């Protein structure tokens, strides 16, 4: 099921990738349906850049994204494992080890990755 990003989602996405502001604010017709995949697959230059961007998030934002992953609404869009590990590492450090493990377990099972969902 595809979700429409609400204001909170958009704020987090813009915190991670401010260069998307024009696209999101101009309502150019391109809608993202998740937060992490566009950052990983379209904006971050490499794994280190993705890791730096994740470092911008506060614990509440990390937990919010993790909860969306766990409820199935944040599709991982086949995020590279390195980027998923970066997210889980930040989650482990700032939120909880248990939540980080749950997110990684779901990722490894493929439960949050829809092959056709690139966003």
Residues 6+ apart with CB under 8 A from 32: 5, 13, 20, 24, 38, 119
Name residue, tokens 């482990």. Answer: 92
The residues spanned by each domain of the chain are 7-109
The two structure tokens encoding residue 67: 């909860």
Q: Give pLDDT, residue 20.
A: 86
Q: Give pLDDT, residue 23.
A: 67
Instruction: Give the span between the Cα atoms of 104 and 110, in whole angstroms.
Output: 10
Cβ pair 73, 82 in contact under 8 A: no
pLDDT, one tens digit per residue, over 99-112 is: 999 999 999 988 54
Q: Give pLDDT, residue 24.
A: 65
Q: Give pLDDT, residue 112.
A: 47
Q: In angstroms, what CA-CA distances link 62 with 23, 42, 80?
A: 23, 20, 18
Q: Give pLDDT, residue 114.
A: 43
SS3 112: coil
Low-confidence ranges of the chain (pLDDT < 50): 28-29, 112-119
């Amino acid at each position: 099921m595809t979700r429409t990003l609400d204001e909170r989602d958009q704020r987090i996405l813009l915190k991670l990738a401010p260069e998307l502001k024009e696209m999101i604010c101009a309502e150019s017709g391109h809608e993202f349906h998740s937060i992490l995949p566009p950052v990983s697959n379209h904006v971050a230059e490499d794994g280190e850049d993705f890791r730096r961007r994740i470092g911008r998030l506060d614990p509440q934002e990390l937990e919010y994204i993790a909860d969306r992953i766990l409820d199935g609404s944040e599709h991982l869009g086949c995020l590279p494992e390195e980027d998923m590990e970066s997210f889980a590492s930040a989650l482990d450090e700032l939120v909880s080890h248990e939540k980080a493990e749950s997110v990684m377990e779901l990722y490894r099972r493929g439960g949050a990755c829809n092959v056709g969902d690139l966003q």
